C-alpha cells in the first residue's frame, strides 16, 4: 500500500475515533435521551463535548481535501517522497490537533492546524510540479 493511502486510512480511523469520543462526551454531558431524539433546538454542546464536536467537524472538512489530494496522487501515479511526507505530516498534525482541541488550547490548536495544511500543501505542490 502506498504510504499516502496508509495515512489516508489512518486519518479515516482518526475521524471515526473522533465520532466515538464526541458521542461519549456528549452523552456524559447531556444524557442519552436528547442525543437519541431528533436533536431539534438542542443548541451548542458546552465544554469539552462541544470542543470534541467542533474538532470532528473540522476533521471532516479537512479530510475531504486531504483524501482528494491523496487519491489524485495515487491514481495519477504521481506519488513521491514529498507526497508521502505531506500525508504523514497531515495525519500526525491532525492527531495532535484533536488532542489540543480537546484540551482547549486555542493558539496551539491553530498552529497545529496550520501544520496539517502544510502537509496538504506539500502534496498539492508535488502534484502541480508534475503537470
pLDDT tens track for 9-41: 999 999 999 999 999 998 888 878 777 777 777
* 20 grid coordinates: 466515538
Q: Model pTM? A: 0.93
The half-sphere exposure of 122 on its side-chain side, counting CA atoms within 13 A, is 20
pLDDT digits (tens, 9 = 90+) for 104-114: 999 999 999 99
Count of other CB atoms within 10 angstroms of residue 77: 8
> Average pLDDT, whole number, for the chain?
94
| Confidence band of 72 (pLDDT split at 50, 70, 90) | very high
CATH topology for 3-129 is 1.20.120
**Domain regions of the chain by residue span:** 3-129
| Euclidean distance between CA atoms 88 and 9, whole angstroms | 11
Q: How far apart are CA 55 and CA 61, in angstroms?
A: 10
Tracing cell 461519549 back to the chain, one arrives at: 24
Task: Say what the pLDDT of residue 41 is.
Answer: 74
Amino acid at each position: 500500500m502506498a504510504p499516502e493511502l496508509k495515512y489516508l486510512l489512518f486519518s479515516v480511523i482518526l475521524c471515526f475515533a473522533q465520532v466515538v469520543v464526541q458521542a461519549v462526551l456528549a452523552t456524559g454531558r447531556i444524557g442519552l435521551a436528547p442525543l437519541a431524539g431528533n436533536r431539534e433546538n438542542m443548541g451548542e454542546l458546552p465544554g469539552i463535548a462541544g470542543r470534541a464536536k467542533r474538532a470532528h467537524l473540522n476533521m471532516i472538512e479537512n479530510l475531504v481535501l486531504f483524501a482528494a489530494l491523496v487519491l489524485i496522487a495515487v491514481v495519477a501515479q504521481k506519488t513521491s517522497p514529498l507526497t508521502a511526507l505531506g500525508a504523514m505530516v497531515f495525519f500526525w498534525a491532525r492527531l495532535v490537533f484533536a488532542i489540543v482541541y480537546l484540551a482547549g488550547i486555542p493558539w496551539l490548536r491553530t498552529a497545529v492546524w496550520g501544520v496539517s495544511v502544510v502537509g496538504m500543501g506539500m502534496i498539492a505542490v508535488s502534484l502541480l510540479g508534475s503537470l
